[in-house]
Chains A and B, each alone.
Chain A
Amino acid sequence: MGDHPHHDDEHDRPLSGPALRAKALESLLTEKGLVDARALDELIDTYETKIGPRNGARIVARAWTDPAYKARLLADATAAIAEFGFIGRQGEDMVVLENTPKVRNVVVCTLCSCYPWPVLGLPPVWYKSAPYRARAVIDPRGVLKELGSEPAPDVEVRVWDSTAELRYLVLPERPAGTEGWSEEQLAEIVTRDAMIGVAQVRR
């Protein structure tokens, strides 16, 4: 490892470091009969094409347009999210946090990278990286300011550190000027970052 020549062109670069180790490990596990390469393909395809933040956006849009659904979502998020069929790994026990004009919720996992897979898919690099995990708890206002959504001084910021097996989804505020929009139109404007709590939804 680390002995390979360094090429400028990414595509010409021979496998080195983790890429080489991952390939060697896959061959070993396949030859031992411990993994099946087609199952690996299926796992990857699921998170690349089927499970992602569009799921969460549908939940948010429904909550914005259906008060009874919103009440169920806030009372028992796991059951209300399961109404859409969004269940499973890393979303077994869900909690939804409602933003209001006076409260902003921000979700982090300081110890690793816990994230609600069934509704948001796999976490982005920034969520898993040291700057966010270090700063979200000590300086949430600084992080939100840098990311362009600084809360006013009288807005309460609540940071949720996902240290157990509860998984959190932020219900962002519905932006003004979207009265009369359909659920599908609303789902279009809901972003992943708004459902983590580091952005607000804009029309």
Chain B
Amino acid sequence: MNGAHDLGGMHGFGPVEIEKNEPVFHSRWEARTFALNLASGFHGKWNIDMGRYAREQMPAADYLATTYYEHWLFGLEKLLVDQGLVSAKELQASRPEAKADAARAMHVADVAPFLRNRRAARLDVEVPPRFKAGEPVVTRNLHPVGHTRLPRYARGRHGVIHRDHGVFIFADTHAMSRDRKPQHCYSVRFGARELWGPGAAACDSVFVDLWDDHLDPA
């Protein structure tokens, strides 16, 4: 979706301000929101791409006016209701109507193994790559209303395959229908001038990780 989350290349947000000696969390609610997201994800009712898509659906004006953990809170409330762990009425009232069915909450002993997970989106399946390193490609000019990892600034642009990362879950379909649609994911190199015009430095480039379904031969 062409949402407020797709920020690459926008102007008007001001300088990057690095806070000295920044704490990991700035307040207790941020820490609890972070942990609630992970502990709720433990139930396996959604995947990471659905999680990102839920946060992207925050109304655009709200997204830009709120902080990172407010996005996480919004996304978590949405996922809990959409995936049936909590009813809309329960969320509204902050009061349970019933215990969850057969749910087993993450215990302290589950935390370390959960965080030491070594398998994410890489898949051990044989899928032929559509492209090889060094090949020129052009990104598709796609504007789906759903989730996509092809940022607006890199659509319809010419690049070169820098590296084939191997076969991965395709985030765009995984977020919408849980379809893993296994395919190769590549690091694609775009000249800064291809993306941003003659004002950019000729020697600079931007590398974007994209999947077969984002690319055509150039």
For B192, what are the chain A residues with a Cβ–Cβ distance below 8 Å?
157
Chain A 22-61 interface mask (CB, 8 Å, partner B; 1/0) = 1111111101111110111111101110011000000000
| Tier of interface size on chain A | 35 or more
For B59, what are the chain A residues with a Cβ–Cβ distance below 8 Å?
none
Known contacts being A126-B17, A158-B204, is A39 close to B86, with CB within 8 Å? no
Within 8 A of B (CB), among A89-122: 89, 92-93, 95, 108, 110-113, 121-122
Q: Least Cβ distance of B18 to chain A in Å?
A: 5
| Total interface residues in chain B, CB < 8 Å | 96
**Distance in angstroms between the alpha carbons of A132 and B48 in the assembled complex:** 23
For B211, what are the chain A residues with a Cβ–Cβ distance below 8 Å?
164
Within 8 A of A (CB), among B22-55: 22, 24-29, 31-36, 38-40, 43, 48, 52, 55
* A173 lies within 8 A of chain B by Cβ: no
For A38, what are the chain B residues with a Cβ–Cβ distance below 8 Å?
107-108
**Distance in angstroms between the alpha carbons of A129 and B65 in the assembled complex:** 11
Q: Least Cβ distance of B25 to chain A in Å?
A: 7
Contact of B111 among A39, A135, A162 (CB under 8 A): A39
Please tell me if the beta carbons of B9 and A134 are within 8 angstroms of each other in the complex: yes
For B118, what are the chain A residues with a Cβ–Cβ distance below 8 Å?
87-88, 92
**Distance in angstroms between the alpha carbons of A88 and B111 in the assembled complex:** 12
Please choose the segment from A65-73, A137-145, A174-182 that sits at the chain B interface, where 4 or more of its residues have CB less than 8 A away: A137-145
Chain B 3-25 interface mask (CB, 8 Å, partner A; 1/0) = 00111111101111111001011
Q: Least Cβ distance of B103 to chain A in Å?
A: 6
**Distance in angstroms between the alpha carbons of A135 and B73 in the assembled complex:** 26
**Distance in angstroms between the alpha carbons of A185 and B93 in the assembled complex:** 55
* B142 lies within 8 A of chain A by Cβ: no
**Distance in angstroms between the alpha carbons of A51 and B40 in the assembled complex:** 21
Known contacts being A157-B204, A161-B206, is A23 close to B105, with CB within 8 Å? no
* A147 lies within 8 A of chain B by Cβ: yes
Q: Least Cβ distance of B29 to chain A in Å?
A: 4
**Distance in angstroms between the alpha carbons of A38 and B115 in the assembled complex:** 15
For A158, what are the chain B residues with a Cβ–Cβ distance below 8 Å?
204-207
* A159 lies within 8 A of chain B by Cβ: yes
In this complex, which of A46, A87, A135 has the most chain B Cβ atoms within 10 angstroms of its Cβ?
A135
* A183 lies within 8 A of chain B by Cβ: no
Please tell me if the beta carbons of B32 and A23 are within 8 angstroms of each other in the complex: yes
Known contacts being A42-B108, A111-B151, A153-B201, is A18 close to B206, with CB within 8 Å? no
**Distance in angstroms between the alpha carbons of A170 and B208 in the assembled complex:** 16
Q: Which 10 A-B pairs have the closest CB atoms?
A: A110-B8, A164-B209, A92-B120, A165-B121, A24-B94, A40-B35, A19-B29, A22-B29, A134-B10, A43-B35
List chain A positions with a Cβ less than 8 A from chain B. Answer: 15, 18-19, 21-29, 31-36, 38-44, 46-48, 51-52, 87-89, 92-93, 95, 108, 110-113, 121-122, 124-126, 128-138, 140-141, 143, 146-147, 153-166, 193, 198
List chain B positions with a Cβ less than 8 A from chain A. Answer: 5-11, 13-19, 22, 24-29, 31-36, 38-40, 43, 48, 52, 55, 64, 66-70, 73, 76-77, 80, 85-86, 90-91, 94-96, 98-100, 103, 105-108, 110-112, 114-122, 149-151, 153-154, 165, 168-169, 171, 185, 187, 192, 195-196, 200-201, 203-211
